[in-house]
Structure 1
Amino acid sequence: MSKKVPVYIAMHNELRQKVLSKEWEKGKKIPSERMLATEFNVSRMTARQAVSSLVEEGLLERKQGAGTFVASDKIREKLSGIPSFTETIEKLGKNPSSKLVSFYIKHASESEAEKLQIRQDEEVLIMERIRYADDTPLCFEVATIPYHIVNGIDKEDLKQHLYQSLADIGYHVARAEQVISATWASEYVADMLKVKRESPILRLKQVSYTQEETPFEYVRAQYVGTRYEFFIEAKSN
């Protein structure tokens, strides 16, 4: 390895090429740090540094009790405009689908009432869905909509074509406010998304507004951190 750069950087570069050249295939378990240290004639500490740097880059991922693996490709959503989940997945050449988990009406919680600018004694429709790409669960989504908006719409239409049903009655998303944070998968969400409890989760909260600035949908979505990522392009003024 080159002496012009730190040893762990040179090792990092060689391991990175193994991933990029597909010598190490997606999802494949890589040799242990002890084995890599022997192969590259370096210390365990140096091997750990090289592997850790690739984990930080997202090229490798550690699985507790199983070892280190080449990371699978993530679905990337660019946060520009208001793209739908379906459009995002289709643009990547994958098949989007959804599974309805629950569909019911209740009184709004304090946070739901605040986000939707309604009274707490007003009824809201709750829809819980799992969103998939090629049958791989990516997201657990809870949508809250004021019931007076959807009252009168056929339930099966709402269950199967929520956004089209809303658009048909004039509720188009003119703008949306989004907040993204990190959390861990609860036992319930982990079961829905087929991951281990306390797996890393990207949580997206979104309030959608009409052209008249009327909030009509409050969504809480939880994405599997190892399968999905958000991309933001920033420009200077």
Structure 2
Amino acid sequence: MSPLYARIEQALRTRLAAAAAGDPLPSEPALAAEFGVARMTVRAALDRLAADGLVERVPGRGTFARPRPEPRPAGTLMSFHDQVRSWGQVPSSRVVEAGLRPATADERAALRLASREQVVAIVRVRLAGPVPLALEHACFPPHLAHLLELDLRSESLHRALRERGLSPTLGSSRLTAEAAGPHAGPLEVPANEPLLVETRLIVDQRAEPLERTVSRYVGSRYALQLTFDVEARP
């Protein structure tokens, strides 16, 4: 059976799904009375909601629903940096790994590399404000090693590429899902948290492979929006 605070958290998530930005939640004493628990248990549930960016806790005033980030249109090539700024939040990254390493078979095929070539590998936790949204494994052809000289905590790689005359122009993605498992720690989620996994290849204006990235998004913090046609049937 899940802990009491987790059940309260889930009940409040359901309420927040129908709430408008700025709507107040009941006070801690009111929630404690409603669920028949101690205030400490309610506080643990609210802390988890705040960590996910769903509520804002204002000392002396209470807890309020935060605006929900707009989902990313799946058919749009938008950098994480630009997307988070469009939400009115500050993007940043926590660097896990950065350097040259041997390419895997999948990376060689995607980036059209020779068998002994290396890739520029950059692994970062991507954050909106203080909230981790994704664990991103990006790799680039070895001639782009200058990317390692950037401030990978705050700079946009796509912006740096454009400044070098390389325009991320076209991309293709494959979407899967998995539990957080070994990636739970960097994302600050339980091991059974659902993740949306996007494997993406981007090419430049000459149709040359530019970037292969595997991004693992926390399912409760990130969404994609799909627009599709309905196939006509005779």
Instruction: Give, in whole Å, the separation in 1 of the partners of 2:137 and 2:66.
Output: 28
Q: Secondary structure at the match of 2:227?
A: coil
CA contact (8 A) 1:80 1:232 kept: yes
Instruction: Give, in whole Å, the separation in 2 of the partners of 1:167 and 1:30.
Output: 56
Alpha-carbon distance change, 191 to 185 in structure 1, aligned in 2, over 3 angstroms: same
Task: Give the one of 106, 112, 123 matched to 2:107.
Answer: 112
Name the counterpart of 1:168.
163
Name the counterpart of 2:81.
86
CA contact (8 A) 1:109 1:120 kept: no
Corresponding pairs, count: 182
1:96 aligns with 2:95: no
Name the counterpart of 1:20.
19
Alpha-carbon distance change, 98 to 31 in structure 1, aligned in 2, over 3 angstroms: same
Q: Give the alignment's TM-score, normalised by structure 2.
A: 0.67
CA contact (8 A) 1:74 1:226 kept: no
1:133 aligns with 2:133: no
Shift of 1:136: 0.4
Name the counterpart of 1:124.
119
Alpha-carbon distance change, 30 to 126 in structure 1, aligned in 2, over 3 angstroms: farther
Shift of 1:139: 0.5
User: Where does 1:47-86 land on structure 2 (aligned, <5 Å)?
Assistant: 73=68, 76-86=71-81
Q: Deviations over 1:121-171 (max 9, x none)?
A: 1011100011111110001001011112x14x2732273442222222222
CA contact (8 A) 1:108 1:122 kept: yes
Q: Deviations over 1:188-225 (max 9, x none)?
A: x1100100112100001100011221111100000001
CA contact (8 A) 2:98 2:148 kept: no
CA contact (8 A) 2:203 2:211 kept: yes
Instruction: Give, in whole Å, the separation in 1 of the partners of 2:16 and 2:116.
Output: 59
Q: Deviations over 1:20-69 (max 9, x none)?
A: 375757xx89967xxxxxxxxxxxxxxxxxxxxxxxxxxxxxxxxxxxxx
Q: Secondary structure at the match of 1:201?
A: strand
Identity %: 23
Shift of 1:19: 4.0
Alpha-carbon distance change, 214 to 16 in structure 1, aligned in 2, over 3 angstroms: same
Q: Secondary structure at the match of 1:112?
A: helix
Name the counterpart of 2:194.
200
1:156 aligns with 2:155: no
Instruction: Give, in whole Å, the separation in 2 of the partners of 1:197 and 1:134.
Output: 23
Instruction: Give, in whole Å, the separation in 1 of the partners of 2:17 and 2:150.
Output: 49
Q: Which runs of 5+ in 2 are unaligned?
A: 1-13, 36-64
Name the counterpart of 1:225.
219
CA contact (8 A) 1:204 1:222 kept: yes
Q: Give the alignment's TM-score, normalised by structure 1.
A: 0.67
